[in-house]
Chain A
C-alpha cells in the first residue's frame, strides 16, 4: 500500500494541504509563453523555480522546454532583482536572440515587490533591448490562484502587450484554447479550417511542444502564434475563449481594450461542449457547418450508443483543473455515467456555480471541492468507492491502493508517452477519450472475470 497512512475518517483541515490538486502560477505562464513564436520565457526569481517548471513541463510533453531565470541570490532578495533582470535581458538577446522575452514573476520577486515594467524601461533606456525586440511581462505570484491562473495571466498579458485595434475589422476569429495539449490546439484549428473560418489561435503550442525529430534541435520551433498574428487579434470579428478559468481573462480584456466581442465557453470536451463551440463558431463567423463535421458528430454519437451498456451508471471520481473538470463532468453525464466526486486545487467559487448548473436535476449527489486536494478525494473514495478514476499521474497511487480502473487525463502526466499527441477535444477527441474510458473498464472486468465468464465478444 502506497498511501497507507490515509485514514478513512475525515478530519477538517484549515491549514494543511495534502497531495495537492494544483501547482503554482509561474509554470502556467511558462507554458503559455511557449505558445508564442520566437518567444523566450523568463522566470524572475530563484533558479529553482525555473528548474522545477522546466522539469515538470518536460516530463509531461517529452520535449525540450527552454527558459531562463534571474537566479536570485540572497543579495538580490534583499536589494531587489533589478540588476539580475537587466543582466538576463542583455544575455538572452545576445546569446539566444528571441523576438520577445516573456517575463513572469515568482513568489520571491512578488514578495519583495520588483516592478517589472520599471526594470524593462530601464533596460530599454540602457539600450539592452535591440530594435524591434520586446520584453513583456505578467505577474504570477505563486501564493494566488494556481498554475491555471498563471496560464490565464500570461495569455491576458499577450492581449495587453500586442492586441491592436487599427479600426479595420477583419473577418478572422480569435481562438483562446486554454491549457490543453498541442494536439488539442491542432484539432481545434482543424475544426475551424473544416468550417472555412480564418482564425488566430493564441497561445498555440502545436509545432512547439510536439516537434518532429529531424536530427537538429531548434530553439524556436516553427509553431507558436506570431507577433503580427497577436497584434491582429484586436481587429478580429470575435473571440471564442475555451475554458473560463484559463481563457476568460484574456477574452474579456480583448473586449474592453479592442472592442472584440467574446464568447466564453467550456472546453470542447464531449458532445455538448463541442456542439456549443461549433455552434458559436458557426454563428460568429456566419458560416454553415459542413457535412464532414456533422459526420464526425454522428460518429461520436454512434460510438456513444455502442458503448452505452458498458458505461451506464458507472461512478467516476475526478481531480484536476477547473476547465477540464467542468467539460469532463458534462461529458460523463451525457454518457449516463455518474461523476460523483470532483476536486480541483484551483480556488474559485465560479467553478462550483458552473458545476451546479451542469449537474442540476441529477438524481444522485455530486460532491465537489474547491480548493480541495487529492487526500480529501482519496478519503471520500475510502468511504464510498467509485468505478473509475480520472486525473493526472498522481491519481495512480489512489487507483493502485483502492484497486480502481484509472484513465490519465490532465496535467501533469509524467509516467506515459503519447498523451500530448492525441486530442481529447472536439468530436474526434471525445471519441479518443471514450476509447480510453471503455478500455480501462473492460480491462478490469476481464482481469477479474472467472474463467467461465471470460468472454471473447462484447
Chain B
C-alpha cells in the first residue's frame, strides 16, 4: 500500500505524542522520549529509564515475577518450579514464552511442560500459606523426585509475610535436595527488570559453583542471557561446537541445574541479553575471575564479529582458523538470501519497541536488509542499555530499585582464578572491551526517536505520523498495529518463527520480514465498490 510520509521533524513528532497527556504525565514522558544525538566518544543525551510506569497509561510492561520465573529461571528444565500464590501467575507463565528445551537422553528430567502452584485460597491469605507450601513441596518430591526445587513468591506472599526462604531451608534439610526461594513479588521494582535481578541473585547464590567438577574440552565458555526462544540457543550450540568452543552452560536457554552449577569452569562469559543477566556476569567475575564480554548473535555480521571476538580471547590459531572457515561457509547462504530479499526491502522503515536488549540487537538484521530503524526503545531497560556502560556510575538508585537486593560478592579464596594476566588483558581490552556494553543509542542515527516504555497512545500516534513499513513489538501490540494496516513482528516470542540467531537464523529473519512487509493482505482492504463510491447507478442496457 503506498504510504504518505509527512515530513515532520523528530521534535515535532515528540510534541504531538505528548499533547494528549495531562501536564504531569507529559512532563514525565518527555524525559523518557529522547531525540538521538551522538557526540564524540559515543556520548548521547540522557534518557529516563527504569522509572515507574504511570498508572492508567496503557503500558506493555509486566512484573517482577514474570522477569524472574518467566524469563530467567523458567528455561532450566530440571528445576521443578513451584509458584507460591493464587493460581493465575503460575497459569500465565506456563509454556507461554517459547523457550525450547531438549533433554539429551530419555532419562533426563524435564519439568518445563508443567505448571505447579500452591493455588492459595482465602484461608491461606488470612492464616498464612507456609504450611501449604511445605505440603506442596513434600507432594512434589513424593511424585517427581527432583534434584532441585525453586519457589517463586507472588504479590500476596510478601504482603502476608510468608517466609519462603525459611520454608525452603527447612524443606531442604528435611528432604535432602536443593530448594530455594525467589522473592519476586510482582510489585517489586518497576517492571520485569527487578525480577531478572532477583533471579540472578537466586541462581548465583543457590546454584552457581555448587559443582566444581572439571569440564573436559578446550575454549570453555558460558552464554549469558540467551533463552532459546524459537530455538536460538540450539543454533548457537551448533555453531560453537563446530567452531571448537566448549559450552559449559547457557543462562538459561536449554539449560540444566548441573550445567549452571558447573558454570565457574568456563573461562569466558559472553553476554547476549545485557539487561537480564549483566548482574551474573559481574558477580561471576568477582567471585570466580571469569571475564565477560558483550556479544550479539543477532545479525549475520554481528554473529561473525562475536565469534571472532571469542576466538581472539583464547588466542589460538587452530580455533581462529576454524572460526574463519565456519564464517566463510555460513555466510554464503546469507549473501544469497540478501541478494534476493534486500532489493525488496531497502529503504523501508521500522519502529521497534521491545525488551531490554532486543531493540538494539535486531537493528543489525535491519541494517543488513537496508531498512531504517527510525525509532526504537525498550520496555524495561535501564539507562546503560540505552546510553552504554559509561553512564552506569551516574545512574541514580531510586526507592524502587533500592528494594532489590544487591549481593556483596568477593573473590572466593579457593575458587577464584584469574583467567588473564594483567598484560594480556590490557592487550585484549582494545578488541574485546571487557565488561562493557556500548548501548543502543550511540549506534543509532541522529534524530532517531528513542522511547522508553512506549505507551499505547504514543504507538498509535507514531503510526499516524511516521507511517512505518514495519512495527516490531509483542503480542499485546500485535493486533492493534495490524488493524492499522501495518505489519507487526513479535520480537519477544517471534510469533511462531525462529531461530533468528546466527547465520541460518538471519536468513530465516530476512524471509520473514519480506513476507511481512511485502505481504499482500493489506491490499484488499477496499472493496471494489468502496474504491469509487461516487459513481451513480446506471442501467445495464444503457
Chain B residues, CB < 8 A from A3: 113-114
A17 touches B87 (CB 8 A): yes
Whether, in the assembled complex, A153 has its beta carbon less than 8 Å from a beta carbon of chain B, the answer is: no
Whether, in the assembled complex, A297 has its beta carbon less than 8 Å from a beta carbon of chain B, the answer is: no
Query: Which A residue's beta carbon lies closest to that of B107?
Result: A4
B87 touches A23 (CB 8 A): yes
Q: Binary interface profile of B, 389-413, with partner A (CB < 8 Å = 1, else 0)?
A: 0000000000110010000000000
Whether, in the assembled complex, A282 has its beta carbon less than 8 Å from a beta carbon of chain B, the answer is: no
Question: Which of the segments B41-49, B139-147, B288-296, B436-444 contacts the partner chain?
Answer: B139-147
Q: A111-B159, A143-B122 are in contact. Are A15 and B113 (CB under 8 A)?
A: no
Shortest beta-carbon distance from A19 to chain B in Å: 6
B86 touches A24 (CB 8 A): yes
B113 touches A2 (CB 8 A): yes
Q: How far is the CA of A26 from the CA of B88 in the complex (A)?
A: 9
Q: A11-B143, A71-B52 are in contact. Are A77 and B187 (CB under 8 A)?
A: yes
CB under 8 Å from chain B, chain A span 429-451 = none
Chain A residues, CB < 8 A from B479: 58, 62-64
Chain B residues, CB < 8 A from A1: 106
Shortest beta-carbon distance from B149 to chain A in Å: 11
One of A5, A19, A26, A47 near B63 (C-beta < 8 A): A47
Shortest beta-carbon distance from B390 to chain A in Å: 28
Whether, in the assembled complex, A20 has its beta carbon less than 8 Å from a beta carbon of chain B, the answer is: yes
Query: Which A residue's beta carbon lies closest to that of B93?
Result: A52
Query: Which B residue's beta carbon lies closest to that of A63?
Result: B479
A215 touches B55 (CB 8 A): no
One of A42, A47, A67, A89 near B53 (C-beta < 8 A): A47
Q: Binary interface profile of B, 169-212, with partner A (CB < 8 Å = 1, else 0)?
A: 00000000000000001111111100000000000000000000
Whether, in the assembled complex, A456 has its beta carbon less than 8 Å from a beta carbon of chain B, the answer is: no
Query: Which A residue's beta carbon lies closest to that of B457?
Result: A95
One of B61, B399, B457 near A96 (C-beta < 8 A): B457
Q: How far is the CA of A15 from the CA of B308 in the complex (A)?
A: 52
Q: How far is the CA of A213 from the CA of B95 in the complex (A)?
A: 30
Interface size class of B (residues with CB under 8 A): 35 or more
Shortest beta-carbon distance from A319 to chain B in Å: 13
B156 touches A18 (CB 8 A): no
Query: Which B residue's beta carbon lies closest to that of A65?
Result: B476
Q: How far is the CA of A68 from the CA of B478 in the complex (A)?
A: 17
Whether, in the assembled complex, B497 has its beta carbon less than 8 Å from a beta carbon of chain A, the answer is: no
Chain B residues, CB < 8 A from A4: 106, 110
A16 touches B118 (CB 8 A): yes
Q: A64-B483, A144-B122, A215-B484 are in contact. Are A108 and B478 (CB under 8 A)?
A: no
Question: Which of the segments B129-137, B328-336, B363-371 contacts the partner chain?
Answer: B129-137
Chain A residues, CB < 8 A from B476: 51, 54-55, 58, 65
A71 touches B58 (CB 8 A): no
Chain A residues, CB < 8 A from B124: 143
Whether, in the assembled complex, A56 has its beta carbon less than 8 Å from a beta carbon of chain B, the answer is: yes
Question: Which of the segments A80-88, A154-162, A163-171, A247-255 contacts the partner chain?
Answer: A80-88
Whether, in the assembled complex, A312 has its beta carbon less than 8 Å from a beta carbon of chain B, the answer is: no
One of B119, B125, B403 near A17 (C-beta < 8 A): B119
B92 touches A5 (CB 8 A): no
A91 touches B54 (CB 8 A): yes
Question: Which of the segments B17-25, B274-282, B297-305, B341-349 contacts the partner chain?
Answer: B17-25
One of B58, B185, B192, B478 near A66 (C-beta < 8 A): B58
Whether, in the assembled complex, A380 has its beta carbon less than 8 Å from a beta carbon of chain B, the answer is: no
Q: A17-B119, A24-B91 are in contact. Are A71 and B55 (CB under 8 A)?
A: yes
A111 touches B155 (CB 8 A): yes
Whether, in the assembled complex, B246 has its beta carbon less than 8 Å from a beta carbon of chain A, the answer is: no
Q: Which residues of A contact B (CB under 8 A)?
A: 1-5, 7, 11, 13-20, 22-27, 42, 45-49, 51-56, 58-59, 62-77, 84-85, 87-92, 94-96, 106-108, 111-112, 141-144, 146, 211, 213-218, 345, 375, 394, 397, 414
Chosen A-B contacts, 8 in total, with CB atoms closer than 8 Å, are A16-B116, A64-B480, A70-B55, A73-B190, A87-B56, A91-B57, A213-B485, A218-B483
Q: Which residues of B contact A (CB under 8 A)?
A: 20-22, 25, 52-66, 82, 85-96, 106, 109-111, 113-122, 124-125, 132-136, 139-140, 142-144, 154-156, 158-160, 185-192, 399-400, 403, 456-457, 460, 474-476, 478-485, 521-522, 525
